[in-house]
A and B are shown apart, each in its own frame.
Chain A
Amino acid sequence: MDQPSKKPLRVLIFGRGMTAELTAAALAVGLGSAATCIRVGSVAPAPDDILFGNAAGPSAYDFFQSIGLTEPRLFLGAPTSFSFGTKFEDWPAPGRSWLQSFQAPIETLFGVPFHQFLRERSEGLSPYLIAAAAAEAGKFAHPPEEQGHPLAKAEYGHHISPEALTALVGRHPAVTAQERYLSDGAEVLVEDGEIKGLKLVDGRTVEADLYVDCSGTERKLASAVGARFSAARTLAAAHSQAALTSPPPAYRTVSLQSFGYDIDTPLQDRISKLRVFHPDQKQEAVGDEEALTFETGHVEEAWVGNCVAIGLASAVLEPLTPAPMMLLERAVQRLVELAPDADDMSVERREFNRLHANDTKNASLFTRALFVGDDFPDTPFWAEAQGSDIPSELDRKLKQFASRGVLVQYDHEPFDAEDWAVQHFGIGRRPSRHDAQVDQVPTDDIDRALTSVRTTVDRVVAAMPPHHVYLTKFKDYLTRKNLGQS
């Protein structure tokens, strides 16, 4: 039996869609009876959830698990598929394609960071990364727990359907037990910078100690308490679905277009297609079809007064990477960890905002770096993408890598050193020098060691099953064992 030491915190979660459901589940599971969650918003998908880009990285695994979204549920209750990463096609220019794969820390070679040995090698990093090689070959298998196995170095995430997850999590017992008002409209009652209540369409007023804004790009509550949104650029996105025409690979594809980019995400039974473009290039991109116009950027403070903005209400990043989902996970976990007392939230607010600022800044660096290069098209989308200032933190990262392959990292970045190495090599950046310790190793020894790594990767990949075969067998197994309901 839970025995909270204080009166439960009343938390009102406003909004619909994946963010609202995940937040509601995480608060319910994480805080138990220390908090009472009230919901305002319909049980329905949110149109702007397309901006998550269907991508959940490896870090989402634990998050999903923590709220009971086990793989059996994810795969039997939704059209989830496996993901080894994202393939960038013709990026930055036709002919260059590379896989931004998920990767556990890469082991050092002769005591020196692995990538330091690759400066003069045209093949780059991908052939040495098990996840990238397997993805390219259309293969997948769960990494074994045995740490010595080469496949254990592969990390994987999931291709998700926000719509399906919204429905799935919405049926979570902890969520269905919450007091819920099925109203998407509400008047926000604000007094002295704090929300006093939400006046629903039917005239009822709902009050709480803490309000969580999950209204996506609308930012209804956050705007009401004066959260300032710092916009980076205005873009548009159009979403569609297509039937599978070939076995789905375990990666998303981002292909560069003159008007922006297309993201194809293979789910179990279909391809989720997202086209992101510059509004001035709408005709070229989608003609007269409907599209969602949105601003990228972030609120300067995600927690203002007694209102916390989560998910797209706090930051909108381009869906090129799993960053939107990563920021959502981090914010929800942080809110659970920093759940305040009703009478004074100042310390929690300050810390939440500090970490929000760090996360959005650091995730934005990774996205911004994807637009650094000389060969991008000369069109409005790309001119604007490349036109914004390069923050000093990114400048340091780029210069250090260019100088001698040093991977600069800041505290608790969402993207780790491996992610950065993969991006640098993938996009075609090469250091002009290498770590002086590389010269300590005879060339023959380096060649032998690198060949050995590649051979191992090739051997393991050859033995792996195709992604779609694995997926089918995995689902059969889960169904046979009746695990989807467990």
Chain B
Amino acid sequence: MQQSQSVCVLGGGTAGWMTAAALANKFQRSAVPVTLIESEQIGTVGVGEATLPHIRFFNQALGIDERAFMRETNATFKLGIEFCDWGALGDRYIHPFGDYGLPTPDNDFHQLWLRAGKVSKVSRLDDYSYPIVAAEAGRFRIPGENPDQIGSNFGYAYQFDSNLFAKFLRGYAESAGVERQEGKVVDVAVDPESGHVRSVTLDDGRTIEADLFVDCSGFRGILIEQTLKTGYDDWSNWLPCNRAVAVPTELNGKPLPFTRATAKTAGWQWRIPLQHRTGNGHVYCSDFATDDEALKTLMDGLDARAIAEPRQLFFTTGRRKKFWNKNVVSIGLSGGFLEPLESTSIHLIQEGITNLIELFPTGELEPYDIDEYNERMGLNFERVRDFLLLHYVATQRDDSEMWRHFRNLTLPDSLQEKIDAWLTRGYVLPYEFGVFLPPSWIAVMLGQNLEPKNHDKRADRIPEADLLRYLEDIRAKTAKEAEATPVHADFLERYLADAPQAAWRTT
């Protein structure tokens, strides 16, 4: 057996407890000692209440019962994100978790649809997506088992209270042997020779040593930045939003199975329905709106009574120059920040944890492990960045300084080429490694009125009448499946009615 490492996780928010729980689960037998330091005096940002379908694999890997988890975190199901006012004021579309139509042997479904649109009036592409049609009707059910069938070829995620998720995972992690230390870090000892963090000292004088530190201390980056001075790549030139103000409201009606992101004049506003309340927030750029204006925008855009005081957040979009530096791995906001327009915050935490587990050090730290981790996480961040930027630049809006700023922006080549290929022939430049695959790009580009001039010539081989009949068949089946789907709130109620208790004590 290779030598195991002791780990100290600094910070007990979503990132910290996800990391601690996963490490405790994965390294049970070799008994990697995991200590987590958190202070109840320090609030957590509670990033991302909305998630991507990948979170289900995280929970499954930890053996977490879905219903117990949903009940404890006030979770709702999520089929996608509704984007309002992005392409133009008054527009709306849903970016679904799933493909459009059904797979066809020689053509992407959207290419058939593009061709059909040239010869006849066809329904919107959304009408061939079960998760969109179901979401619009406020319906939900778990996908069937055959992914080639309409009504089964989609994914789903959750909208949950991330503070409750952290608490839930705390129970899991502590029952799996993670030692929690209450306290604030007041000092950090660094080995003068190696430059590695040797120990942290808490406000009550205790010192905690570890071989590996995972910095989940949020924007402050106590170890990765304040101590190791790792540096930060500032991406504000691409994504200039740098502040957010958030406020929860009472639930207005039954919770919908999707998140909403509404474009504003200086940013955008989120709306995330949970079982017991709705999370709201306004992400904006301080160059284009004052804090007071941003708050007013948020409050004016609420559809129910606020139930807490608004909270202000400050950030700089970008990434740490090294996510893993020396013996410190930064996971969560300490590693970088990308606005939660596509619910990627928790996903990037998950990616960080998955890669850390695969490259988990054994014995002496190996530079190869560190280099590989940094390569992978860098690619993840960059590809999410390009996808987020697409939302701001695929627009006809010019009604504010912010939108005019984006209209004049020179895009990264990778993104510009992607847009050009789409506009020319509905082609999506593919990549294999990255969270957003072609259907996501199609959803946003088409949803924001980037209409391709041409289509794939292979779509021309199908006789027009056959093509239209095929499309209509898919549309009708999609509508029928959605109609037969229960209302989300009803499904949720039934699904969670006899949810088991978590196998551990939640705090």
A contacts, CB < 8 Å to B: 1-5, 9, 30-35, 66, 111, 336-339, 341, 344, 347-348, 350-351, 354, 396, 399-400, 403-404, 406, 408-412, 433-437, 439-442
Query: Considering the complex of A and B, which 8 residue pairs feature the smallest CB-CB distances, nearest first?
Result: A403-B368, A34-B457, A436-B360, A347-B424, A32-B461, A411-B432, A4-B460, A440-B29
Contact of A437 with B357 at beta-carbon distance under 8 Å, contacts A347-B420, A351-B427 already known:
yes
Q: What are 17 A-to-B residue pairs whose CB atoms are below 8 Å?
A: A1-B463, A30-B106, A31-B457, A31-B461, A34-B461, A347-B420, A348-B425, A350-B420, A351-B417, A354-B429, A399-B368, A410-B433, A411-B430, A434-B2, A436-B30, A439-B4, A440-B26
Contact across chains for B28 and A404 when beta carbons are under 8 A apart: no
Contact of A350 with B417 at beta-carbon distance under 8 Å, contacts A412-B430, A437-B357, A440-B29 already known:
yes
Contact across chains for B457 and A436 when beta carbons are under 8 A apart: no
Contact across chains for B362 and A338 when beta carbons are under 8 A apart: no
Q: Bound complex: CA of A385 vs CA of B148, how far in Å?
A: 47
B window 461-506: CB within 8 A of A: 461, 463-464
Contact across chains for B2 and A3 when beta carbons are under 8 A apart: no
Q: From the candidates B4, B421, B464, name the one contacting A436 in the complex (CB within 8 A).
A: B4
Contact across chains for B357 and A5 when beta carbons are under 8 A apart: no
Q: Bound complex: CA of A336 vs CA of B106, how far in Å?
A: 10
Q: Bound complex: CA of A403 vs CA of B454, how far in Å?
A: 48
Q: Bound complex: CA of A341 vs CA of B362, how far in Å?
A: 56
Q: Bound complex: CA of A223 vs CA of B395, how far in Å?
A: 42
List 16 extra interface pairs beyond A409-B432, A435-B358, CB under 8 A: A2-B463, A3-B119, A3-B464, A5-B460, A30-B106, A111-B61, A338-B427, A344-B424, A347-B420, A396-B375, A404-B362, A412-B432, A433-B362, A436-B362, A439-B2, A440-B29
Contact across chains for A403 and B458 when beta carbons are under 8 A apart: no
Contact across chains for A351 and B421 when beta carbons are under 8 A apart: yes
B window 256-305: CB within 8 A of A: none
Contact across chains for B427 and A31 when beta carbons are under 8 A apart: no
Contact of A400 with B368 at beta-carbon distance under 8 Å, contacts A3-B463, A337-B458 already known:
yes
Cβ contacts under 8 Å, B424 to chain A = 344, 347-348
Contact across chains for A403 and B366 when beta carbons are under 8 A apart: yes
| B118 adjacent to chain A (CB < 8 Å) | yes
Cβ contacts under 8 Å, B430 to chain A = 411-412
Contact with A along B19-53 (1 / 0, CB 8 A): 00000001111100000000000000000000000
Contact across chains for A440 and B30 when beta carbons are under 8 A apart: yes
Cβ contacts under 8 Å, A441 to chain B = 29
A182 to chain B, nearest CB (A): 28
Contact across chains for A436 and B458 when beta carbons are under 8 A apart: no
Q: Bound complex: CA of A337 vs CA of B454, how far in Å?
A: 13
- Scoring A111, A341, A403, A404 by chain B CB atoms within 10 A of each residue's CB, the highest score goes to A404
Q: Bound complex: CA of A222 vs CA of B456, how far in Å?
A: 25
Cβ contacts under 8 Å, A435 to chain B = 358, 360
Cβ contacts under 8 Å, B362 to chain A = 404, 433, 436, 439
Cβ contacts under 8 Å, A406 to chain B = 358-359, 372
| B221 adjacent to chain A (CB < 8 Å) | no
| B151 adjacent to chain A (CB < 8 Å) | no
Q: Which residue on chain B has the smallest CB distance to residue A403? A: B368
B window 58-85: CB within 8 A of A: 61
Cβ contacts under 8 Å, B4 to chain A = 436, 439
Cβ contacts under 8 Å, A337 to chain B = 427, 456, 458
A64 to chain B, nearest CB (A): 14
Q: From the candidates B28, B118, B372, name the one contacting A5 in the complex (CB within 8 A).
A: B118
Q: Which residue on chain B has the smallest CB distance to residue A434? A: B2
Cβ contacts under 8 Å, B27 to chain A = 436-437, 440
Contact of A32 with B432 at beta-carbon distance under 8 Å, contacts A347-B421, A436-B2 already known:
no
Q: Bound complex: CA of A33 vs CA of B454, how far in Å?
A: 16
A69 to chain B, nearest CB (A): 16
Cβ contacts under 8 Å, A35 to chain B = 457
Q: Bound complex: CA of A436 vs CA of B456, how far in Å?
A: 47
Q: From the candidates B1, B358, B458, name the one contacting A30 in the complex (CB within 8 A).
A: B458
| B361 adjacent to chain A (CB < 8 Å) | yes
Contact across chains for A404 and B427 when beta carbons are under 8 A apart: no
Q: Which residue on chain B has the smallest CB distance to residue A65? A: B105
Cβ contacts under 8 Å, B115 to chain A = 5
Cβ contacts under 8 Å, A341 to chain B = 454
A115 to chain B, nearest CB (A): 13
B window 424-466: CB within 8 A of A: 424-425, 427, 429-433, 454, 456-458, 460-461, 463-464
Q: From the candidates A2, A4, A350, A403, name the one contacting B369 in the complex (CB within 8 A).
A: A403
Cβ contacts under 8 Å, A344 to chain B = 424
Cβ contacts under 8 Å, B106 to chain A = 30, 66
Q: Bound complex: CA of A9 vs CA of B432, how far in Å?
A: 31
Q: From the candidates A4, A350, A400, A440, name the one contacting B457 in the complex (CB within 8 A).
A: A4
Cβ contacts under 8 Å, A410 to chain B = 432-433
- Scoring A5, A350, A436, A440 by chain B CB atoms within 10 A of each residue's CB, the highest score goes to A436
Cβ contacts under 8 Å, B1 to chain A = 439
Q: Bound complex: CA of A400 vs CA of B375, how far in Å?
A: 12
B25 to chain A, nearest CB (A): 10
Q: From the candidates B357, B359, B457, B463, name the one contacting A9 in the complex (CB within 8 A).
A: B457
A33 to chain B, nearest CB (A): 8
Q: Bound complex: CA of A437 vs CA of B23, how far in Å?
A: 10
Cβ contacts under 8 Å, B461 to chain A = 2, 31-34
B466 to chain A, nearest CB (A): 10
Q: Which residue on chain B has the smallest CB distance to residue A337? A: B456
Q: Bound complex: CA of A348 vs CA of B452, how far in Å?
A: 14
B361 to chain A, nearest CB (A): 7
Contact across chains for B119 and A5 when beta carbons are under 8 A apart: yes
Cβ contacts under 8 Å, A348 to chain B = 424-425
Contact across chains for B460 and A3 when beta carbons are under 8 A apart: yes
Q: Bound complex: CA of A2 vs CA of B427, how far in Å?
A: 22
Q: Bound complex: CA of A433 vs CA of B366, how far in Å?
A: 10
Cβ contacts under 8 Å, A4 to chain B = 457, 460
B window 350-397: CB within 8 A of A: 357-363, 366, 368-369, 371-372, 375
Q: From the candidates A1, A2, A408, A439, name the one contacting B372 in the complex (CB within 8 A).
A: A408
Q: Bound complex: CA of A434 vs CA of B430, how far in Å?
A: 32
Q: Bound complex: CA of A408 vs CA of B374, how far in Å?
A: 13
- Scoring A347, A406, A434 by chain B CB atoms within 10 A of each residue's CB, the highest score goes to A347
Q: Bound complex: CA of A57 vs CA of B27, how far in Å?
A: 39
Q: Which residue on chain B has the smallest CB distance to residue A62? A: B105
Contact across chains for B431 and A400 when beta carbons are under 8 A apart: no
Q: Bound complex: CA of A339 vs CA of B424, how far in Å?
A: 12
Contact across chains for B463 and A437 when beta carbons are under 8 A apart: no
Q: Which residue on chain A has the smallest CB distance to residue B358? A: A435
Contact across chains for B460 and A2 when beta carbons are under 8 A apart: yes
Q: Bound complex: CA of A408 vs CA of B372, how far in Å?
A: 9
Cβ contacts under 8 Å, A437 to chain B = 26-27, 357, 360
A437 to chain B, nearest CB (A): 6
- Scoring B4, B115, B362, B363 by chain A CB atoms within 10 A of each residue's CB, the highest score goes to B362
Contact of A411 with B431 at beta-carbon distance under 8 Å, contacts A2-B461, A440-B28 already known:
yes
Q: Bound complex: CA of A399 vs CA of B369, how far in Å?
A: 10
Q: Bound complex: CA of A341 vs CA of B425, how far in Å?
A: 10
Cβ contacts under 8 Å, A9 to chain B = 457
Q: Bound complex: CA of A184 vs CA of B118, how far in Å?
A: 41
Q: Which residue on chain B has the smallest CB distance to residue A340? A: B425
B354 to chain A, nearest CB (A): 12
B470 to chain A, nearest CB (A): 14
Cβ contacts under 8 Å, B417 to chain A = 350-351, 354
Q: Bound complex: CA of A44 vs CA of B64, how far in Å?
A: 64
Q: Which residue on chain B has the smallest CB distance to residue A345? A: B424
Contact of A436 with B361 at beta-carbon distance under 8 Å, contacts A337-B458, A351-B421 already known:
yes
Q: Bound complex: CA of A285 vs CA of B366, how far in Å?
A: 45
Q: Bound complex: CA of A34 vs CA of B460, how far in Å?
A: 7
Q: Which residue on chain A has the smallest CB distance to residue B5? A: A436
Q: Bound complex: CA of A4 vs CA of B119, how far in Å?
A: 11
Q: Which residue on chain A has the smallest CB distance to residue B107? A: A337
Contact across chains for A31 and B375 when beta carbons are under 8 A apart: no
B432 to chain A, nearest CB (A): 4
Q: Bound complex: CA of A437 vs CA of B354, how far in Å?
A: 12
